[in-house]
């Protein structure tokens, strides 16, 4: 599955969905699980989804580190762009 331009395996996606659910980001968790259920290869993440993922990946496991880095860079760029 591809999230934020980064390919993650199914086990990593399930771990991410579990973390999201525990952190009360159930909409984003449901998006990932539904996308998996219907076989989507790419999942479009809105800004709220991206921020939810950043929130739960503070102690990033190795299999999700690339996704975390990309989302933080995008978030920082977006934030700086709004401040200009």
Per-position pLDDT tens, the chain of length 84: 999 899 999 999 999 999 999 999 999 999 999 999 999 999 999 999 999 999 999 888 888 999 999 999 999 998 888 765
24: left (phi over 0), alpha (psi -120 to 50) or beta: left
Per the CB < 8 A criterion, the answer to whether 16 and 36 are in contact is no
How much is the pLDDT for 82? 73
Per the CB < 8 A criterion, the answer to whether 64 and 12 are in contact is yes
How much is the pLDDT for 41? 96
How much is the pLDDT for 23? 96
């Amino acid at each position: 599955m591809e999230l934020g331009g980064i390919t993650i395996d199914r086990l990593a996606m399930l771990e991410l969905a579990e973390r999201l659910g525990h952190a009360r980001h159930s909409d984003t968790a449901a998006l990932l699980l539904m996308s998996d259920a219907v076989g989507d290869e790419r999942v479009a993440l809105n800004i709220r989804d991206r921020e939810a993922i950043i929130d739960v990946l503070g102690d990033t496991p190795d299999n999700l580190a690339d996704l975390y880095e990309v989302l933080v860079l995008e978030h920082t760029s977006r934030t700086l762009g709004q401040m200009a």
